[in-house]
Chain A
Amino acid sequence: QKEVEQNSGPLSVPEGAIASLNCTYSDRGSQSFFWYRQYSGKSPELIMFIYSNGDKEDGRFTAQLNKASQYVSLLIRDSQPSDSATYLCAVNGNTDKLIFGTGTRLQVFP
């Protein structure tokens, strides 16, 4: 079992819709959770982090964390074609290691 799992996609949504990206992790001691966005041929860049159960909103992005279910998600409201990218979930466990999932490719079509 991989430490951080994501559906590789692609997830295709129409412009203006809500995109929902999901991630599960195996280490119950994990403390911090990150969502990175990676455009094709570019390096990952941080979108959001969350470390408490519940929701955290930042503009069109909402991160959701459920530690009991070992589940973290990212919602993108009013999706735009410019949101088309690979979204990487990353988890920081009991050590300082930052472990990434394989990413979900999102396609937003006009």
Chain B
Amino acid sequence: DAGVIQSPRHEVTEMGQEVTLRCKPISGHDYLFWYRQTMMQGLELLVYFNNKAVMDDSGMPKDRFSAKMPNASFSTLKIQPSEPRDSAVYFCASSPLFQMNTEAFFGQGTRLTVV
């Protein structure tokens, strides 16, 4: 398997524009996590899915962020409208079964810059 695949790797956009980040988890993994990483806050969990259903989105600003997982092999994180404070690296991770010692595998991340 190619691992978790994220696109795009880099995104530069103007404030107010819509941004869509994409993630393809490892085949067979039931869990999918979206994290945002900044120097100040570290890795923040935005939202996670289990079998395509949102389990917890309490870390996600709901007024501008939305996350979907229409099928087991694809997820999106959308920001509309984008703001400079959204600039960060966004990671997607997947896991087969999140119990005890199950590892979460990370994608390469999307570096988002909002100017």
Contacts and interface: CB of A to CB of B under 8 A. Distances in A.
Contacts, number: 55
Interface residues of A, number: 22
8 contacts: A46-B103, A46-B104, A49-B100, A96-B55, A97-B48, A100-B45, A102-B41, A103-B42
A96 B50 contact: yes
Given A88-B43, A103-B42, A51 B101 contact: yes
Contact of B43 (A32, A92, A95, A100): A100
A43 B45 contact: no
A17 interface: no
Interface string B34-72: 010000011111001010000110000000000000000
A98 B34 CA distance: 11
Interface majority SS (helix, strand, loop, mixed), chain B: strand
Interface string A40-66: 001111100101000000000000000
* Interface-centre pick from A34, A45, A51, A96 (highest chain B CB count, 10 A): A96
A20 interface: no
Interface of A: 31-32, 34, 42-46, 49, 51, 88, 90, 92, 95-103
B106 A45 contact: yes
B73 interface: no
Contacts of B45: 97-100
